[in-house]
Amino acid sequence: MTKNSGHTSGISLGHDSHNSTSTCKDLPDDRRMVLSTRLLKSRVGRERQRYDDLTRLLVCIVVSRRKIDASYEILLISSFKHQTQWIIPKGGWENDETVIESALREANEEAGVTGEIVASLGTLNFYSHRGKPCRFFGFQLEVTQVFEHWAESTRQRKWVTFEEACELLESRPELVEMVVRAANKI
């Protein structure tokens, strides 16, 4: 992506830049195959990281599943650096992937799940704990498969209600905001 003075209008939200609600099904079969073969190994480093001027572009995924009683719960994962803190899957959007591919990759790498993107949660500008500008591109993913082994399987997973998630994420207001947006989509 080229820098564009803070505007995101040139950012593609999926394979079809006119469709902001793209899903994994929108990816051609060959792109899904390539994506699935890359998922057992986490990407590291920020060489391919996308920026909009000085703002780091990230994806944030609220992973949900419907219970038998038709209520929903979402998946929290333990932080990589602080194993006792809970977060939701998130990470850098890289130059060689669409934002949808990035969201699917992060959900698989960090949480060991795949599924279908069912909603865009919009964008959210915030500052990192180091004071650096960041922008989330949020998505809700309805889980279709939970893996026993995945790239970052040292993380713990925990299924909780939306309310419980907000409590457990209270120290990260940007993550709470994405959970609230997902809850409002249901």
Which two tokens mark 131?
A: 């004071």
CA distance 67 to 57: 33
Name residues whose C-beta falls within 8 Å of residue 135's C-beta, 6 or more positions apart in sequence.
Answer: 8, 52, 55, 56, 57, 58, 123, 124, 125, 126
For residue 20, the model assigns a pLDDT of 33
Pairing assessment for the beta strands 133-146 and 55-66 based on DSSP bridges = parallel
Q: Residue 41: pLDDT above 80?
A: no
Q: Residue 32: pLDDT above 60?
A: no
- Range in 33-37, 152-156, 175-179 with the lowest mean pLDDT: 33-37
Residue 5 per-residue DSSP state: T
Q: Residue 118: pLDDT above 60?
A: yes
Nearest 5°: CA angle at 161, between 155 and 162?
95
- Range in 17-21, 71-75, 97-101, 170-174 with the lowest mean pLDDT: 17-21
Residues 74/111, Cβ–Cβ less than 8 Å: no
Q: Residue 5: pLDDT above 60?
A: no
Higher local confidence (pLDDT), 185 or 159: 159
Q: Which residue in this structure is represented by tokens 């409002």? A: 184
pLDDT per position as a tens digit, 75-95:
999 998 877 899 999 999 999
pLDDT per position as a tens digit, 129-176:
899 999 999 999 999 999 988 888 789 999 999 999 999 999 999 999
Q: Residue 7: pLDDT above 50?
A: no
Per-residue pLDDT band at 47 (split at 50, 70, 90):
confident
Q: Which of 63, 83, 49 is nearest to 153 (CA)?
A: 83
Higher local confidence (pLDDT), 61 or 50: 61
Domains of the chain in sequence order: 24-185 (3.90.79.10)
Residues 182/72, Cβ–Cβ less than 8 Å: no
What average pLDDT does range 61-67 have in this prediction?
95
CA distance 141 to 43: 20
